Chains A and B, each alone.
Chain A
Amino acid sequence: MLEVLKQIDYSPFLLTFKLAIITTLFLFLIGLPIAYFLAYSKFRLKSAIEAAVALPLVLPPSVLGFYLLLITSKNGFLGKLWQEYFGHQLAFHFEGIVLASIIFSFPFMVHPLTAGFRSINKSLIEASYTLGKSKLETVFRVILPNMKPAILTGITLSFAHTIGEFGVVLMVGGSIEGETKVVSIAIYDAVEKIDYTTAHVYSAILFGISFFVLLVVYMLNKRFEVR
């Protein structure tokens, strides 16, 4: 048994976590200002932006993956630019699947953050202004510390969703060993090759990790509530 476990290649996990961590980090940084805008702005075309943000929820991953592939390949406009600056196209490379994951998981970060911003009582923000604090300082000292559960939810959902994605990554990244072959794809590969042992081990580990991540979130959220 132990022998079998030792023989399995665990590098897809490393790749998967690298992808999930980088994706989540970018999503958080991009998602914050967008969620702030969606929560507080009275801009008339806001609904259009909200719809665009939610689009990955309803689009089949293959549709999203197809468009992303067109953009990121050698002839796509992003792929071309990337080729000029970095010497290789975006598609079928790690950077490509990071971009794809960011877009695919966008609503999973932006929706909880928007809800979090909206949950903050307006008078807290106004109190901070009358106490002389700028909008930016108010965000960091008043708003964000009081929406920790929303931040945690956004981060976890994005992280977990990135770990679990399959279609988009396959379309944009292919299945290149050590570059774009994440666990979910590795499982598919193993099954195709009738290597059920590997598929079993990968699946069990992914199952356990996903459950553990969600468990931690719910436990932390409970602690926030108590206060």
Chain B
Amino acid sequence: MIVVRVKKELIGPKGKFNLEVDFKVEKGEFLTIFGRSGSGKTTILRMIAGLEKPDEGYIEFDGKVYFDSSKKINIPPQKRNVGFVFQNYALFPNMTVFENVAFALDKKKKENIEKVEEVLKLVELYNLKDRYPSSLSGGQQQRVALARAIIKNPDILLLDEPLSALDYSIRIRLQDELKKIHKMFNLTTLLVSHDKPEVFKLSDRVIYLEDGKIRKVGTPREVFIGKSISGKFSFYGTVLDIRKSDTVKIVTVDINGNLVEVITTTEDLNIGDEVLVGAKAFNPIIKKIN
């Protein structure tokens, strides 16, 4: 289990604010931090990895104290057993795919070579092992970064929006892959994401971060849907357009790229609002589209 209780003053666009969080990650759990840009998500991951120092607080991994401001303990990143996938992947341009992954291990031992090859096969990169990162697609680079981060069996895998730069179909595939790897190694994982479908698909629990504070914690369903609607048929979307028609309004909503029009009488709706579109009293039909 990983215990994180940290505080750090950050300087955002609107001035200083405090990042102050307190949470635990259970062994094998897939936890996601969700929040708007600038809410402090990356900073939390960086503090766990030891790349950034909290002003005060306490970080513990399975009983080992990594950071304790009251006892002046601050273990350097090299000695924390974390796997970190950076937002920009941070692959070493001077090394091949194989060398990038092998870099995580000690110098060339026989069994290490086999281990690297095994992991490369797992993420379907074995055929590209002698290529340099600059000649790979975004999705491939992402998988190299993932392979490099998991090869040492980290106590926790930290993923900073690893899929946000990729287009939709690749993203879906890599989400499946992440899930597979998470299950396979029972890897404790902390993901940063601001894609709700992704959060739903992958996480056991989600932390909703707002301006450096935890606003809600729970399963994605609890956090995002809450108890305001009891129906099973509901979608998140963004308001694109509002037209007035007699006494009602016709609202165009973007639900993950699908546009729908909904009639409503709700007063305080604005363009750009996040809304929940749901139906209570009928049974939706589901049909497989090939």
Binding site for B on A (CB under 8 A): 121, 123-124, 126-134, 141-142, 145-146, 227
Contact = CB atoms under 8 A, between A and B. Distances in A.
Interface string B79-109: 1101110111010111000000001100000
B151 to A, nearest CB: 9
Contact of A127 (B79, B90, B94): B90
A145 B84 contact: no
18 contacts: A121-B88, A123-B88, A126-B51, A126-B86, A128-B92, A129-B50, A129-B77, A129-B78, A130-B51, A130-B77, A130-B83, A131-B148, A133-B103, A146-B92, A146-B93, A146-B94, A227-B93, A227-B132
A126 to B, nearest CB: 5
Contacts of B79: 132
A134 B78 contact: yes
A133 B83 CA distance: 13
Contacts of A121: 88, 90
Contacts of A227: 93, 132, 134
A63 to B, nearest CB: 42
**Main SS class of interface, A:** helix
A145 B90 CA distance: 15
Contacts of B80: 130
B76 interface: yes
A146 B103 CA distance: 15
Given A132-B78, A141-B103, A123 B94 contact: no
Nearest to A131: B104
A131 B104 CA distance: 5
A126 B87 CA distance: 12
B116 to A, nearest CB: 13
Size bracket, chain B contacts: 20 to 34
Contacts of A129: 50-51, 76-78
Contacts of B76: 129
Interface in B119-157: 132, 134, 148, 152
B191 interface: no
A121 B86 CA distance: 12
B49 interface: yes
Given A123-B86, A141-B103, A227-B134, A130 B49 contact: yes
A20 to B, nearest CB: 28
B78 A133 contact: yes
A127 B132 contact: no
Interface string B60-78: 0000000000000000111
A126 B77 contact: yes
Interface of B: 49-51, 76-80, 82-84, 86-88, 90, 92-94, 103-104, 132, 134, 148, 152
A145 B92 CA distance: 10
B148 A126 contact: no
B88 A132 contact: no
A124 B51 contact: no
Contacts of A133: 78, 103
Nearest to A130: B84
Most B-side CB within 10 Å, residue of A121, A129, A141: A129
A121 B93 CA distance: 11
Contacts of B51: 126, 129-130
Contacts of A123: 86-88, 90
A11 to B, nearest CB: 42
Counting from the closest, the 5 A-B pairs by CB-CB distance are A127-B90, A123-B90, A145-B94, A129-B77, A130-B84
B49 A142 contact: no
Most A-side CB within 10 Å, residue of B49, B78, B83: B78
A127 B84 contact: yes
A66 B90 CA distance: 49
Contact of B92 (A130, A132, A134, A142): A142
A43 B77 CA distance: 22
Given A129-B77, A130-B50, 19 more contacts: A121-B90, A126-B49, A126-B84, A126-B90, A127-B86, A127-B90, A127-B92, A129-B50, A129-B78, A130-B51, A130-B78, A130-B83, A130-B84, A131-B103, A131-B152, A132-B78, A142-B94, A146-B93, A227-B134
B266 to A, nearest CB: 44
Contacts of B92: 124, 127-128, 142, 146
A141 B80 CA distance: 20
Nearest to A135: B78
Nearest to A146: B94
B248 to A, nearest CB: 51
A222 B148 CA distance: 30
A129 B82 CA distance: 10
